[in-house]
Amino acid sequence: MVWPWRRKSRRRMARITIEGAIASTTRKRVLKALREVQQREFPALLLRIDSPGGTVGDSQEIHAALLRLRDKGCHVVASFGNISASGGVYVGVAAEKIVSNPGTITGSIGVILRGNNLSKLLERIGVRFETVKSGTYKDILSPDRALTAEERELLQALIDSSYDQFVEAVATGRGLSTEAVRQFADGRVFSGAQAKELGLVDELGDEERARALAVELADLDEDCKPVTLGKPKKQLLSRLPGSSLVNRLSDMLETELSHCGQALWLYRP
């Protein structure tokens, strides 16, 4: 017996969306959907990205899963929506082709790590931390003191390593040299039109154009409609007026708070 969710879909196209900041919740949802794409043998995947980026590890795992899916013969086309920056770019360059709106905000290729130095505030209100640690750097980025020169050098080396991984992924995915990528991978953002000139995207167009391109690559019927997999669960806030902005701010805040002190591939307007 073949279970319904494992039925073969050789003449159909899958669609997965990545919206908001990329963190563990997004990673789990997308990886589960990608497994379904593989199990049901979809010949093409339309990947819609509308994200400012997110955590390094989560972005890398989605990127790796997309490459494995392509190795199985599935054609992956990414469609950049309103924004596809930083970690959104990292995920996107795993696609065979990228289609972007001319006005899409993209780029922001780089890594950022932030902590909070609240030492002056804590001193003013009479709060002191007593720290017992096993090693010199165990309390690095603690909010009650500034970084030492040695700590800053250590963290910079961490960021540089992560940045090199990002540049290599973009260069490999887009068929560019690492030197060419480094020329524009300094954290700046581009419009979709500028990104095409740089070789970061293949075509300018909307999601419908990306769908049509996937149809061409997989030799599907022209009117083939995508089957959306891994839909995000709707939150209570999503039913309220202005919920889109509220949810977006909520995602950004959650990523900021839960990953404070971690390296992020996240566009910060």
Token pair 């020329």 is found at 183
Question: Looking at the annotation, which residues are catalytic?
Answer: 86, 138
